[in-house]
Amino acid sequence: MTAIPVLAARHRQQMSILSDADLVPLAKMGDEPAIRAIVQRHNQRLFRTARAIIRNDAEAEDVVQAAYIKAITNLAAFRGEAQLSTWLTRIALNEALGRVRHRKNTTGLEEIDMQTRSPGGEILQLPSCLWATDPETELARSQARHLLENAVDDLPDDFRAVWVLRDVEGMSTDETASYLGIRPETAKTRLHRARKMMRQSIEKQLSGAFSALFPFDGARCAFMADRVIAALRNEAS
């Protein structure tokens, strides 16, 4: 009786080391471990992509689920001409953008003045990893993440999509433009402005905290006064 679960677990482990090219034929035949391996492998990218458009975690998860279902049920249409990750990302993007269009009219940014260049468009460096080793480190990591997420959420939809695909997912300008159906020049301009807006947003969020740096009040302040008085008394005696 225990052999079946062990064999199933072993099969899933074998699936996880296969390439996408090897997994796709198995997934087309309905092999669940293969489908599971595909989903787990591409979850991060699809969620980030959907979240960049939707700006809501729960709805982004719905988008990812819908994208997977649409992809898996239409695997026969996948010819391998592009990478599976590219194909899946495009499906997730279309799903997310479709939902946004149903909610509101999107602002067309295709005709941005390509000659406009403002200083400060350099890349915003993000920590690649912040491992939590203690509660204080975990708190700092959480605060930094929320700071960045708030700045990302403040970006206009089209800028946000470009920024996530380029600076988070590490796609090239041409890949990003292809995914979003825009010109590479437009992708460059949106990325430039997104980086600037991100930096301004973070600086604005941090500015209120500057006055609180290195606090020296309350008991510490009173104790210093006591120390000064004590020192003065010692000199007078």
The contacts of residue 212 (CB under 8 Å, 6+ apart) are none
Position 217, amino acid: D
> Which range has the worst mean pLDDT, 151-155, 165-169, 218-222, 231-235?
218-222
Per-residue model confidence as pLDDT tens digits over 36-72: 999 999 998 899 888 888 888 889 899 999 999 999 9
Cα 186 to Cα 115: distance, rounded to the nearest angstrom: 11
DSSP for 164-199, please give it: IIIIIS---HHHHHHHHTS-HHHHHHHHHHHHHHHH
Position 178, amino acid: S
Of residues 21, 6, 19, 15, the one with CA closest to residue 34: 15
Question: What crossing angle do the helices spanning 135-153 and 184-210 adopt, rounded to 10°?
Answer: 130
Under DSSP, the state recorded for 76 is G
pLDDT of residue 216: 59
Per-residue model confidence as pLDDT tens digits over 79-106: 887 889 989 998 998 898 888 877 755 4
Q: Selecting from 3.30.1360.120, 3.40.47.10, 3.40.366.10, 1.10.1740.10, what CATH number does the domain 3-103 have?
A: 1.10.1740.10
Domain ranges of the chain: 3-103
Answering whether pTM is above 0.95, one says no
